[in-house]
Structure 1
Amino acid sequence: MIIDSNETPGGLASTDVTPEGFLYDVGGHVIFSHYKYFDDCIDEALPKEDDWYTHQRISYVRIKNIWVPYPLQNNVSILPQEDKLKCVDGMIDAAIAARTATDKPKNFDEWIIRMMGEGIANLFMRPYNYKVWAVPTTKMQCAWLGERVAAPDVKTCVRNVILNKSAGNWGPNATFRFPARDGTGGIWIAVANTLPKEKTLFGKQGEVTTIDADAHKVTLKSGKTIGYKKLITTMAVDQLAEQMQDKELVNLSQGLFYSSTHVVGVGIRGERPERIGDKCWLYFPEDDCPFYRATIFSNYSPHNQPGESVKLATQIIADGSKPNSTEPKEGPYWSIMLEISESSMKPVDQANILRDSIQGLINTDMIKAGDEIVSTYHRRFDHGYPTPTLEREGVLKELLPKLQEKDIYSRGRFGSWRYEVGNQDHSFMLGVEAADHIVNGAVELTLNYPDFVNGRKNTERRLVEGAQVFQNKATDQADAHVATSNGTKEVTTRERAPSKTASSSHARKSSKTVK
């Protein structure tokens, strides 16, 4: 049985539609997968070639009134001369210091300094990451980084500075897919449509009020109770503890930190400007705008905004003035989606967030003061980013096993609270692997070995015996992890989990594609 208080499937990977017909995802979502199984599932749900668009990522950092290709640390050659020198000096200092370093960075800020130096840290990494995470980099750990942050190649950067060249595309999402219709949420509606309706409860029917772990019983707002043997929950684990009314778990979960996300959308009449071109998503480290990221959402699919023949009234001129006429007129239209973080350490002026966002778009030359805005959107998501604070692992290593002892598997972006495995593919597979573990004793690789699953394309099915071989690969990789310092090799060892065996019938059953 699947129970979800949202009216539609998808959670934080859902899509809203404005009254004027503009689509906005819950933040910037694209499909780039680490799992063949995930690909198979969404391809089964959306099987036609015209169900998808494939894009080359075109991303920039807006800084010093110029567009620097992403990632900035690989493209310092584009910066003004003084900033260019500070960045190169910092990278050289960091490379020299790394030769004598004997310990690992204690936090994200130290990692930035060691990998990139003070120049890039002060110009981009510190201000940008504060805008994203809504906490200082000194309060974040660095085990979550994995493939998400590019470490600069000093020789290449210096060569590009001398030759005045920029670096090529980088990153796990350099190419990505996006659904042609219905936004990201359309994927999960299509997946849910493959499930038996009598086994799903959405919307008001799916609102949970309490979870009685001792009685293995969930009580819904309607008064209905549902018993369970094993419970997989993707609600935020701090909220789960409250619904369980377990004081020990509530107190423990208070050691976790998160930021809220505001998603702001702006629909504009007119041809997409040449300066915007085919840009995908863009980064904003400076304080001339409240948002840290902007996505040109109309570039992902022509169905993300109304057709050119649709007549819409101008609601406001970008500079805040009233339009000369409110008579509906035809398009064409294009749209921008913005993300703004909020926390107790970074408050937001919610009453004026739309006004400030539009002004920020003008400040950064994304739109012009005279542009006609025909649609606006604003929604706040209380749990936006699960913050990898210094305290996080200590809490999770105690909290998640305590829940599992009660037959509760807390998984997903906020269920397991590990940002490094919090994308759509990760969140999906956290659920798949939890179910496989419950039914067949298979290893939960994504939860327990995030570095391993992020470092490869996982093409194996989850055979029980195969999963043990897969786990051995992961632990062998961890055992062989080498940290180089002072020219010597320091080997970290970890205890391998005990092997699980299974019958051949279980192995055969788990090798089939789940439908």
Structure 2
Amino acid sequence: MTAQTDTLIIGAGLAGLSTGLHLGDSDFLIVDGQTYVGGKARSEEIDGFTFDVTGHWLHLRDPYIRKMVLDLMGDDHFLRIRRMSRIWSHGVYTRYPFQANTYGLPAEVIHECVMGAIEADRRRSDGIDETEEPPNFADWIRFYFGEGIARHFMIPYNAKLWGVSADTITSRWCQRFVPVPQLNDIVAGAVGVNDNEMGYNAEFLYPKRGGIQTVANALADEIGREKIKLESRVIQIDINAKVVTLDNGQKIRFERLINTMALPYFLDAIEEKPSEVESARRRLVANEVVYLNVGIDGPLGQPDHWIYVPEDEWPMYRVGSFSNANPAMAPDGCSSLYIELSDRETPLDVLRPKIESGLIAMGLIKSAEQVRFMESRRIKNAYVIYDFDYHQSRDTIHEWLQAVGVFSIGRYGDWNYSSMEDALIDGRRTATAILDKTHDQG
């Protein structure tokens, strides 16, 4: 038997849930292949510890979205946290962002970074427009920060994060996410008198209990769980007939389709599509993140919420702690870490001694005996790679989807680098567009 709904939403992550919430009482159904809602914004428990899928800190700058979340969950559901984040390199800690806080590094490193920044500033003309910036990310880094900052942090860190060289990535993704300080901030940061907090994530909210999963759960409860069909993975889509097939064989007919699953997988499920769309789909690239959930006996030796590790000597590029932000994320007398690995291939049992040595060198633990457990997880399609085929390929796909009346939204459906708040905004925007069109037709 074929079920029917006016609006079918593929994916119960934040974008899909936000769409459903904002569709209100209209006829819609959300389907998802997992046993839980939230997508990547989920939490798991291990021996009394709560872990998210790496750092999911809630940065809410949009007034509507902030009010929506606080009204839905209650103001007292969240802790309000001031970011504590540093960089660990050359055996010392420096404040985030590196480019504006080199004070404390070896003198020769500071000199190289400051002189490089001065030279870069001299080469740039005033009033640079984004269209005049270097298209290559590695060149963009040198253009704004100079050779020293590029060599000691920006180039090696981004190679570890993305898993590809910075010169293979376009710079068109980074304006929002990479702070670009003024020269006086760089100089002030080199002598230790820069008090500016830079970056989009200087403050964030975090649930007092239950991890980030509680946000998705609250959205799902408000929507009504009867409108969400879990363990229902879409395996085939007939755009012309407006029918999807689930992995259990059930078919669902729809009038409107909203996708939030990873764009390549969504396209793979569509039976018929133009050759240029098929070709563009093959050019979509994302990396895979391997991360570790780590339980620690005793307190951590550093207070940070997350720490950047740019040097190739160490197999991790970022180490974070949920329990430093919220002690309730670990049992009494314990702490937790999440560790994102740049070495995505070496087995954990081989890599573990080096990781533990790094944690000791960073002053996070005193002994490897404090590590209660270390469990590995993988995220497919973690970071969309903004290579030089990205924009044309993505545009080709979205132009076709728009022409056939399909919305593909959220970080993975739209295929971009964005935040949880962006996913919530995407859902609201899409629902508003649907309701406005329905109203106009009515």
Does 2:147 align with 1:146? Answer: no
Q: 1:37 aligns with which of 17, 42, 64?
A: 64
| Aligned residue number for residue 497 of structure 1 | none
Check whether the contact 2:135–2:172 (CA below 8 A) recurs between aligned residues.
no
SS in 1 for 2:61: coil
Question: Structure 1's 212 and 359: CA in aligned 2 closer, same or farther, altered over 3 A?
Answer: farther
Q: Return 5+ residue gaps in structure 1 as ranges.
A: 309-331, 443-501, 507-515
Inter-partner Cα distance in structure 2 for 1:224 and 1:304: 39
SS in 2 for 1:266: strand
Does 2:336 align with 1:340? Answer: no
Check whether the contact 2:286–2:383 (CA below 8 A) recurs between aligned residues.
yes
Check whether the contact 2:169–2:386 (CA below 8 A) recurs between aligned residues.
yes
Inter-partner Cα distance in structure 1 for 2:104 and 2:383: 31
Does 2:266 align with 1:237? Answer: no
Q: What pairs with 1:429-508 in structure 2 (closer than 5 Å)?
A: 429-441=425-437
How much does 1:106 deviate? 2.0
Inter-partner Cα distance in structure 2 for 1:208 and 1:141: 32
Inter-partner Cα distance in structure 2 for 1:431 and 1:299: 31
How much does 1:369 deviate? 2.7
Inter-partner Cα distance in structure 2 for 1:371 and 1:334: 14
How much does 1:11 deviate? 0.5
Does 2:50 align with 1:23? Answer: yes
How much does 1:179 deviate? 0.5
* Structure 1 letter corresponding to 2:180: A
| Aligned residue number for residue 55 of structure 1 | 81
Inter-partner Cα distance in structure 2 for 1:336 and 1:250: 41
Compute the TM-score of the two structures, normalised by the length of structure 1.
0.75
Deviations 1:192-243 (A, max 9, x none): 11112221101x2x21111111111111111111111111111111111111
* Structure 2 letter corresponding to 1:413: R
Deviations 1:103-141 (A, max 9, x none): 430211111111000010011000000111111111111
Q: 1:70 aligns with which of 96, 100, 103?
A: 96
Q: What pairs with 1:280-291 in structure 2 (closer than 5 Å)?
A: 280-291=305-316
* Structure 1 letter corresponding to 2:262: A
Inter-partner Cα distance in structure 2 for 1:80 and 1:69: 15
Check whether the contact 1:132–1:292 (CA below 8 A) recurs between aligned residues.
yes
| Aligned residue number for residue 293 of structure 2 | 265
Question: Structure 1's 164 and 200: CA in aligned 2 closer, same or farther, altered over 3 A?
Answer: closer
Deviations 1:35-67 (A, max 9, x none): 223223322331151x11111111100010000
Q: 1:416 aligns with which of 414, 417, 420?
A: 414
Check whether the contact 2:101–2:192 (CA below 8 A) recurs between aligned residues.
no
Check whether the contact 2:348–2:376 (CA below 8 A) recurs between aligned residues.
no
* Structure 2 letter corresponding to 1:191: L
* Structure 1 letter corresponding to 2:33: S
| Aligned residue number for residue 20 of structure 2 | none
Check whether the contact 2:237–2:270 (CA below 8 A) recurs between aligned residues.
yes
| Aligned residue number for residue 17 of structure 2 | none
Inter-partner Cα distance in structure 2 for 1:7 and 1:285: 36
Inter-partner Cα distance in structure 2 for 1:333 and 1:399: 48
Question: Structure 1's 175 and 164: CA in aligned 2 closer, same or farther, altered over 3 A?
Answer: closer
Question: Structure 1's 125 and 197: CA in aligned 2 closer, same or farther, altered over 3 A?
Answer: same
| Aligned residue number for residue 253 of structure 2 | 227
SS in 2 for 1:126: helix
Check whether the contact 1:232–1:409 (CA below 8 A) recurs between aligned residues.
yes
How much does 1:299 deviate? 1.5
Aligned residues: CA RMSD: 2.2
Inter-partner Cα distance in structure 1 for 2:327 and 2:132: 51
How much does 1:436 deviate? 1.5
Deviations 1:445-479 (A, max 9, x none): xxxxxxxxxxxxxxxxxxxxxxxxxxxxxxxxxxx
* Structure 1 letter corresponding to 2:204: F
How much does 1:167 deviate? 3.8
Compute the TM-score of the two structures, normalised by the length of structure 2.
0.87
How much does 1:272 deviate? 3.3
Inter-partner Cα distance in structure 1 for 2:401 and 2:170: 24
How much does 1:370 deviate? 4.4
* Structure 1 letter corresponding to 2:221: N
Check whether the contact 2:45–2:51 (CA below 8 A) recurs between aligned residues.
yes
Q: What pairs with 1:121-160 in structure 2 (closer than 5 Å)?
A: 121-160=150-189
* Structure 2 letter corresponding to 1:286: E
Number of aligned positions between the proteins: 408
How much does 1:24 deviate? 1.2
* Structure 2 letter corresponding to 1:35: D
How much does 1:407 deviate? 2.2
How much does 1:403 deviate? 1.5
Deviations 1:231-269 (A, max 9, x none): 111111111111113463332111111011112011111
| Aligned residue number for residue 400 of structure 2 | 402
4+ residue stretches of structure 1 with deviation over 4 A? 100-103, 353-356
Question: Structure 1's 171 and 159: CA in aligned 2 closer, same or farther, altered over 3 A?
Answer: closer
Q: 1:177 aligns with which of 205, 220, 240?
A: 205
Question: Structure 1's 355 and 237: CA in aligned 2 closer, same or farther, altered over 3 A?
Answer: farther
Question: Structure 1's 272 and 106: CA in aligned 2 closer, same or farther, altered over 3 A?
Answer: closer
Question: Structure 1's 231 and 354: CA in aligned 2 closer, same or farther, altered over 3 A?
Answer: farther
| Aligned residue number for residue 349 of structure 1 | 346
| Aligned residue number for residue 366 of structure 2 | 368
Percent identity of paired positions between Structure 1 and Structure 2: 28
Q: Which structure exhibits the higher relative contact order, with contacts defined as CA atoms closer than 8 Å and separated by 6 or more residues?
A: 2
| Aligned residue number for residue 300 of structure 1 | 325
* Structure 1 letter corresponding to 2:95: P
Question: Structure 1's 408 and 121: CA in aligned 2 closer, same or farther, altered over 3 A?
Answer: same
* Structure 2 letter corresponding to 1:305: A
Check whether the contact 2:237–2:269 (CA below 8 A) recurs between aligned residues.
yes
